Amino acid sequence: ASALLASITKASRDEPDSGISAAVNHGIGRPGIIPLWSGEGNLPTPEAFCRPAIESLLKGETFYTWQRGIPPLREALARYHSRHYGRAFEAENFFVTGGGMQAIQTILQMIAGEGDEIVLPTPAWPNYAGPMRMMGAKPVEVALDFANGRWHLDLDKLFAAITPKSKAIVLNSPSNPVGWTASLEDLKAVRDECRKRGLWIVGDEVYSRFYYGDKGEPRAPSFLDICDTEERLLLANTFSKNWAMTGWRVGWLQAPKAVGPAIERIIQYNTSGTAAFLQQGCAVALDEGEDFIAAQVVKARANRDLVAAALRAHPQIRFELPRGAFYMFFALDGMTDSLATTYRIIDEAGVGLAPGGTFGPGGEGFLRMCFLRDPAKLGEAMDRFGKWLKTSK
Ligand code: PLP
């Protein structure tokens, strides 16, 4: 086995497993486990979005597709954005990918290679730093501060991390795992700095609809509010979260038209396109999914408050109520090894969480819980976890 391992690349051999996968591998299949480790809801995809996919499949739409995505989906993406961002968008700026993950991978592959650096606030989803390292680029991680129960992004610190090797700033807002959400002023500052230094703005706005603003806003502030589509702006997004389609593996990337051929080449050499019948279902989700999204967000907000109330009963727990996304990210006083603690909670309480340490600098000492679940199950998980906190040593 060691000879086999010695003959694969160092990057693929040495990259650590994500702690989320480690938790899942440890706990999956355990009888009675309540899994709150992954970032998805408990509902299957609504029938209204499945039906057009089934019909397309039965109609024989089973051939190779356009690398950039089928025209009806790219047009539906332009319509969706025009509706939500108050100006006209063009289909030519959208590229269909194999989930948000392939959108991220495509972006990174296009803008960074061996020796390049990418500035990334953390705690962040581990699927950013991992692929950067595997392509020989360096994630330059800048931790948000957690002080007096609030997360804060120090923009001076973020910009001080830029060097001549930097290619981009990646900003995930609302953030997985923290729930921190950039204000329009934060976004403008990042935009201005990127413009000044000639960097790409990479935005991950996959949770933008899961936003718990004070005025019932339908989405979080976005780079699309303040940027031009033809500037150095790349946005990753996905059907996974808003429309309960995690298993479909369909997402999109928004980019200036000038880099379209480069994106097409990367997709060509990667998946060679996304199944047409899946894309047909996604197009209908964009056009007809608003009621579903609205109901999901109402449920997420209520669940967030349910979890927050349960956690507040424990003085050893500290957190900020998330403003976006659907995770509670909480510190457990005295915990120094979040992965080991995650294993214990799986074994002893039957609740599956994700270890904070896997989200990079600033994450150790925390645990992440996804709350887009059935409220009764979530309540049971909170009972079990609460009992575990009282009795564990
Ligand atoms: N970006 C963030 C911040 C995420 O949390 C996720 C999923 O968890 C994604 C992107 C990509 O999602 P998917 O690859 O399922 O479309």
pLDDT tens digits for range 212-230: 998 889 999 999 999 999 9
pLDDT of 16 reads 86
Ligand 1: centre distance to CA 87 (Å): 26
Segments making up each domain of the chain, as ranges:
2-45+291-391, 49-289
Ligand 1: centre distance to CA 203 (Å): 12
Question: pLDDT averaged over the chain?
Answer: 96
- Asked if residue 9 has pLDDT above 80, the reply is yes
Ligand 1: centre distance to CA 100 (Å): 5
Among candidates 30, 67, 75, which has minimal Cα distance to 346?
30
Ligand 1 atom showing the smallest separation from residue 250 Cα: 16
Helix/strand/coil (H/E/C) assignment for every residue in the chain: CHHHHHCCCHHHHHCCCCHHHHHHHHHCCCCCCEECCCCCCCCCCCHHHHHHHHHHHHCCCCCCCCCCCCHHHHHHHHHHHHHHHCCCCCHHHEEEECHHHHHHHHHHHHHCCCCCEEEEEECCCHHHHHHHHHCCCEEEEEECEEECCEEECCHHHHHHCCCCCEEEEEEECCCCCCCCCCCHHHHHHHHHHHHHHCCEEEEECCCCCCECCCCCCCCCCCHHHCCCCCCCEEEEEECCCCCCCHHHCCEEEECCHHHHHHHHHHHHCCCCCCCHHHHHHHHHHHHHCHHHHHHHHHHHHHHHHHHHHHHHCCCCEECCCCCECCEEEEEECCCCCHHHHHHHHHHHHCEECEEHHHHCCCCCCEEEEECCCCHHHHHHHHHHHHHHHHHCC
Does 246 sit in the ligand 1 pocket, CB within 6 Å? yes
Ligand 1 atom showing the smallest separation from residue 101 Cα: 14
Q: What percent of the chain has pLDDT over 70?
A: 100
pLDDT of 362 reads 97
Residue nearest to atom 8 of ligand 1 (CA): 39
Mean pLDDT score, 288-293: 98
Mean pLDDT score, 90-100: 98
CA 270 to chain CA centroid, Å, is: 21
Ligand 1 atom showing the smallest separation from residue 39 Cα: 8
Structure tokens at 172: 């995930």
The DSSP bridge pattern shows strands 366-370 and 354-355 to be antiparallel
Residue nearest to atom 10 of ligand 1 (CA): 100
Ligand 1 atom showing the smallest separation from residue 246 Cα: 15
Ligand 1 atom showing the smallest separation from residue 125 Cα: 3
Does 205 sit in the ligand 1 pocket, CB within 6 Å? no
pLDDT of 32 reads 94
The DSSP bridge pattern shows strands 327-332 and 317-318 to be antiparallel
Ligand 1 atom showing the smallest separation from residue 175 Cα: 3
Tell me the chain's radius of gyration from C-alpha atoms: 21
Mean pLDDT score, 307-336: 97
Which residues are within 8 A (CB) of 292 and not within 5 positions of it... i.e. 6 or more apart?
46, 243, 244
Residue nearest to atom 9 of ligand 1 (CA): 100
pLDDT band at 1 (very low <50, low <70, confident <90, very high): confident
What length is written for the chain?
Answer: 393
Ligand 1: centre distance to CA 313 (Å): 31
In angstroms, rounded to a whole number, what is the distance separating the alpha carbons of residues 258 and 252?
17
List C-alpha distances in Å: 251 to 34, 69, 209, 296, 323. 27, 10, 15, 19, 23
What is the CATH code for 2-45+291-391?
3.90.1150.10
CATH ID of 49-289, from 3.40.640.10, 3.60.130.10, 3.20.20.70, 1.10.340.30: 3.40.640.10
- Find tokens 């330059």 and name the residue: 140
- pLDDT tens for 23-80 read 999 999 999 999 999 999 999 999 999 999 999 999 999 999 999 999 999 999 999 9
Burial of residue 238, with CB atoms counted within 10 A of its CB: 0-12 exposed, 13-18 middle, 19 or more buried: buried
Q: What percent of the chain has pLDDT over 90?
A: 96
Which residues are within 8 A (CB) of 53 and not within 5 positions of it... i.e. 6 or more apart?
277, 278, 280, 281
pLDDT of 216 reads 86
In angstroms, rounded to a whole number, what is the distance separating the alpha carbons of residues 31 and 351?
11
Residue nearest to atom 5 of ligand 1 (CA): 176
ipTM of the complex: 0.99
pLDDT band at 17 (very low <50, low <70, confident <90, very high): confident
- Asked if residue 211 has pLDDT above 90, the reply is yes
pLDDT of 97 reads 98
Q: How many CA within 13 A on the CB side of residue 307?
A: 30
Choose the residue to mutate in 170, 204, 238 for probing ligand 1, maximizing ligand atoms within 8 Å of C-beta.
238
- pLDDT tens for 133-164 read 999 999 999 999 999 999 999 999 999 999 99
Ligand 1: centre distance to CA 315 (Å): 32
Choose the residue to mutate in 96, 125, 235 for probing ligand 1, maximizing ligand atoms within 8 Å of C-beta.
125
CA 257 to chain CA centroid, Å, is: 24
Ligand 1: centre distance to CA 388 (Å): 30
Does 35 sit in the ligand 1 pocket, CB within 6 Å? no
Ligand 1 atom showing the smallest separation from residue 204 Cα: 1
Question: End-to-end CA distance of the chain, in Å?
Answer: 39
- Asked if residue 236 has pLDDT above 90, the reply is yes
Ligand 1: centre distance to CA 125 (Å): 8
Ligand 1: centre distance to CA 129 (Å): 13
Per mean pLDDT, which range of 13-17, 35-39, 248-252, 330-334 is the poorest?
A: 13-17
Does 123 sit in the ligand 1 pocket, CB within 6 Å? no
